[in-house]
Amino acid sequence: MHELSLVMEVVRRVDAIAKSNNVSEVDTIVLQIGEIATVVPHFVQACYPAAIDGTWMADTKLKIEMVKASVRCNNCNKVFDPIEYHGVCPSCSCDEHEILTGREFVIKEIVCY
């Protein structure tokens, strides 16, 4: 489960950002996770308490926002949902595409006091 190491890195980065901005309390960390990312949101949420335990951020909440996947067909340029259409363009039936969104793992927001 690589989610624990990812969550620990998020906590380290938020800690560094907060300290460099003289922030004494973080209320919420907002992550964006793409629906086709190699990260399982449930595991991220489950690992979070262990990552903040014993730190000054022990009362910080974690919010996860999912990012829908979208791809662009290499043949006709139609943008579509690869999950809904099983990776096959609904316009031309081509199965070659470029991923536009859905692979994100981003610290979107740090809510501070």
Using CB atoms within 10 A of its CB, is residue 95 exposed (0-12), middle (13-18) or buried (19+)? middle
47 is in an annotated binding site: no
β-bridge pairing 70-73 and 61-67: unpaired
94 is in an annotated binding site: no
Contacts of 62 (CB under 8 A, 6+ apart): 28, 29, 31, 44, 45, 48
Q: Is the CB of residue 104 less than 8 Å from the CB of residue 37?
A: yes
97 is in an annotated binding site: no
What residues form the annotated binding site for Ni(2+)? 2
Binding residues for Zn(2+): 73, 76, 89, 92
> Residues annotated as binding site?
2, 73, 76, 89, 92
